[in-house]
Amino acid sequence: MRRPNYGSLHLTAAFSLAALLLYIPANILPILHLDKLGVSSDNTVWSGCVALFHDNQWGIAIIVFLASILIPLVKLLGLFFLVTTTAMQSRWARKTRTWIYKTIEIIGRWAMLDVFVMAILVSLVKLHLLANVIPGKGLFAFCAVVVFTLLASAAFDPQLIWNDEEE
Amino acid sequence: MIDPATEQAADRSSDGKSAVPEMALPRPTIRKMRWPYPLIWIVPIVAAVALAIYLHDHSKDDGPTIRILFKDAGGLQTDETVVKYRGVEVGKVSSIRLSDDHHYAVVEVHLRRPAASIATAGALFWIVRPEISVGNIAGLGTLVTGPYIQALPGTGPADLEFTGLEKPPLVPDDQGLWLVLHIDHVQNLQPDSPIFYRGVRVGTVEEVQLAPDSTHVNVHTVIWGRYAPLVHRRTQFWRISGADVKGGVFTGIEVKLDSLQALLTGGIAFATPETDAGPVATEADQFTVHDQPKSEWLSWSPSIAINPASGDRAPRKNPSKEAHSAFDSVMGKK
């Protein structure tokens, strides 16, 4: 059995904290600025969901909401929770925490899909030459959240949950 | 040279060694792996700084939400219709609903922070829509973009509730001379009909109303500020129809066109006598519009200094310096 990687705690905690911090501007600030025939609109992820919902595309609206708002938050909070309890060397509910870790790994794959949606949308709109799409301030925060979340979940070593440092 | 931290750690590990028998060998390896990781905490610190900057920027741009009552909010759209002042976007419509008594459309506008001072008592708001009438085409751009709300800041204390105007206010920010002209019959005079002095347009008919006692028609006109000194108490006004057709056996038919617009919308001309013109007219003076000018009116040619145009009030010696000082006075106010 290999020795757990203690450094991974620092990495996971730091990356997930950074991602959590940037999660706020990523969702408050517009990620997309749309100029359509002189009418400009700023779009946040949330306003995109609402617009889809009002358009009766509620299936897509729910997917976008889950993938870009709810799941990233759950994933980050879960990771942060795991990392803090592990750092405190808690022996509490180790099975549950392992289960949480596994769940995060599974649902985490569904996070942040809409970056791809955005890429498609941008190219689509650019093709049409009718609207001008400019990335908003929030998009950079959004991308940073994606990267940090990836790094955080990659860095976490689940073996640490079961580790007792001083044996 | 030995780093004090390393030294201390080495001490600790040697202490540990002395307490526990030979088996605790892997520990120095762990210590060595550990030291770079705290550096990673720079990442969340940078993220926190970025968050602070983001939120600061965001709040800096975030102004008050004001409410404007319109009789008709047709064409306005939530999150799309903008509020403009001097062509600059200063806010956006955030919600539109019907008032409780169903008499008004309540339009909520989210202003940007730098433009918050527009929302002061006396501020005027009106909706700019495409407008095509005889002699006047306005707001054509809104055919494509949809209507927008035009703002004109007030001067009073800050306020959050306003009543929108039905149409643009009459000659905003221009110190024009308002006159009420009496006329027997309007014929084709209408709002926007021109007022001419020697063939130069110097004013506009703003409103045509029947007099309170219905004996005549009151034509509310504004003589643009620049030309206000032209009107004196003894100034004579007459109607121009645009085209004047005279026929005679020996002269043939003579057609005189004053102005194409006047042909469509009618118009009013005036002349001021060279002598005995009286003092410069005020808004209290009453004038009658005649159907035909007397021939001597047409030959009046008094020398009256008009106000300089607001655009080039300054001498044109050093325009760049002028522009700079204007820039400074605007930017310096902040």
Contacts of A11 in chain B (CB under 8 A): 37, 40
Query: Cα(B139)–Cα(B145) distance, rounded to whole angstroms?
Result: 10
pLDDT tens profile B83-102: 988 888 888 898 899 988 88
Q: Is A84 a member of any domain? A: yes
Instruction: Tell me: pLDDT of B257 over 50.
Output: yes
CATH number of A33's domain: 1.20.140
Confidence of residue B242 (pLDDT cuts 50, 70, 90): low
pLDDT, chain B, mean: 76
User: Which is more confident, B214 or B29?
Assistant: B214
Quick one: what percent of chain B has pLDDT higher than 90? 3
Mean pLDDT, range B163-192, rounded to an integer:
77
**Which of the residue ranges A96-105, B213-222, B259-268 would you say has the lowest mean pLDDT?**
B259-268
Instruction: Tell me: pLDDT of B162 over 50.
Output: yes
Q: What is the pLDDT of residue A128?
A: 58
Confidence of residue B310 (pLDDT cuts 50, 70, 90): low
Quick one: what percent of chain B has pLDDT higher than 70? 71
Q: Identify the H or E element spanning B289.
A: strand B286-290
Query: Cα(B9)–Cα(B28) distance, rounded to whole angstroms?
Result: 9
Total number of domains in chain A: 1
**Which of the residue ranges B40-49, B73-82, B252-261 would you say has the lowest mean pLDDT?**
B252-261
Confidence of residue B314 (pLDDT cuts 50, 70, 90): very low
Q: Identify the H or E element spanning B17.
A: helix B4-19
Across chain A, which has 167 residues, the per-10-residue mean pLDDT values are 66 86 84 69 78 81 82 86 79 80 80 59 60 73 82 78 57
Where are the domains positioned within chain B?
62-163, 177-299
**Cβ contact B47–A19 (<8 Å):** yes
Query: Cα(B67)–Cα(B140) distance, rounded to whole angstroms?
Result: 27
Query: Cα(B147)–Cα(B149) distance, rounded to whole angstroms?
Result: 7
**What does the DSSP assignment read for B28-88?**
HHHHHHHTTGGGGGHHHHHHHHHHHHHHHHHHHTEEEEEEEEES--TT--TTT-EEEETTE
- Write the single-letter amino acid at B158: A
How many residues are there in chain B?
334
Confidence of residue B106 (pLDDT cuts 50, 70, 90): very high
Q: What is the pLDDT of residue B317?
A: 41
Q: What is the pLDDT of residue A125?
A: 61
Instruction: Tell me: pLDDT of B327 over 80.
Output: no
For residue A77, the enclosing domain spans 7-156
Q: Is A1 a member of any domain? A: no
pLDDT tens profile B112-127: 888 888 888 888 898 8
How many angstroms away from the CA of A132 is the closest CA of chain B?
14
Q: What is the pLDDT of residue B322?
A: 46
Q: What is the pLDDT of residue B107?
A: 92
Q: Is the ipTM of this complex over 0.90?
A: no
Q: What is the pLDDT of residue B161?
A: 86
Q: What is the pLDDT of residue A108?
A: 75
**What does the DSSP assignment read for chain A?**
-PPP-THHHHHHHHHHHHHHHHHHHHHHS-SEEEEETTEEEEE-HHHHHHHHHHTT-HHHHHHHHIIIIIHHHHHHHHHHHHHHHHHTT--TTHHHHHHHHHHHHHHGGGTTTHHHHHHHHHHHHHHHTSEEEEE-HHHHHHHHHHHHHHHHHHH--GGGGG--S--
Residue B146 near residue B118 (C-beta atoms within 8 A) = no
Query: Cα(B235)–Cα(B253) distance, rounded to whole angstroms?
Result: 31
**Cβ contact A7–B34 (<8 Å):** yes
Q: What is the pLDDT of residue B26?
A: 57
Q: Any residues with CB less than 8 A from the CB of B65 and at least 6 apart, and which?
A: B94, B108, B109, B110, B111, B160
Contacts of A31 in chain B (CB under 8 A): none
Q: Choose the closest CB to B51 out of A21, A38, A148.
A: A21
SS3 assignment, position B334? coil
Query: Cα(A7)–Cα(A3) distance, rounded to whole angstroms?
Result: 12
**Which of the residue ranges A130-144, B174-188, B226-240, B275-289 would you say has the lowest mean pLDDT?**
A130-144
Residues on chain B bordering chain A, Cβ-to-Cβ distance under 8 angstroms: 26, 30, 33-34, 36-38, 40-41, 43-44, 46-48, 50-51, 54-55, 57-58, 79-80, 82, 89, 141, 144-146
Six-digit token string for B283: 């808004």
**Cβ contact B33–A6 (<8 Å):** yes
Q: What is the pLDDT of residue B334?
A: 40
Query: Cα(B68)–Cα(B111) distance, rounded to whole angstroms?
Result: 12
Dihedral over alpha carbons A28, A32, A33, A37 (to 10 degrees): -140
Contacts of A10 in chain B (CB under 8 A): 37-38, 40-41
**Cβ contact A29–B79 (<8 Å):** no
Contacts of A51 in chain B (CB under 8 A): none
Q: Any residues with CB less than 8 A from the CB of B320 and at least 6 apart, and which?
A: none
Beta bridge partners of B158: B120
Total-model pTM: 0.55
Mean pLDDT, range B50-77, rounded to an integer:
85
Contacts of A17 in chain B (CB under 8 A): 44, 47
CA distances from A135 to A24, A31, A119, A127, A143 (A): 17, 6, 11, 16, 11
Q: Is A117 a member of any domain? A: yes
Instruction: Tell me: pLDDT of B318 over 50.
Output: no
A–B interface: beta-carbon pairs under 8 A: 70
Q: What is the pLDDT of residue B309?
A: 67
Instruction: Tell me: pLDDT of B320 over 50.
Output: no
Query: Cα(B149)–Cα(B144) distance, rounded to whole angstroms?
Result: 15
Contacts of B24 in chain A (CB under 8 A): none
Query: Cα(A124)–Cα(B215) distance, rounded to whole angstroms?
Result: 67
Listed residue (B157, B160, B154) closest to B64, CA to CA: B160
Mean pLDDT, range B31-60, rounded to an integer:
76
Confidence of residue B108 (pLDDT cuts 50, 70, 90): very high
Instruction: Tell me: pLDDT of B2 over 80.
Output: no
Mutate to test the interface with B, among A8, A29, A39 (most CBs of B within 10 A): A39
Instruction: Tell me: pLDDT of B247 over 80.
Output: no
How many angstroms away from the CA of B15 is the closest CA of chain A?
16
User: Which is more confident, B82 or B242?
Assistant: B82
A22-61 residues touching B, CB cutoff 8 A:
22, 24-25, 28-29, 37-41, 47
- A118 Cα distance to chain centroid: 15
Residue B85 near residue B115 (C-beta atoms within 8 A) = yes
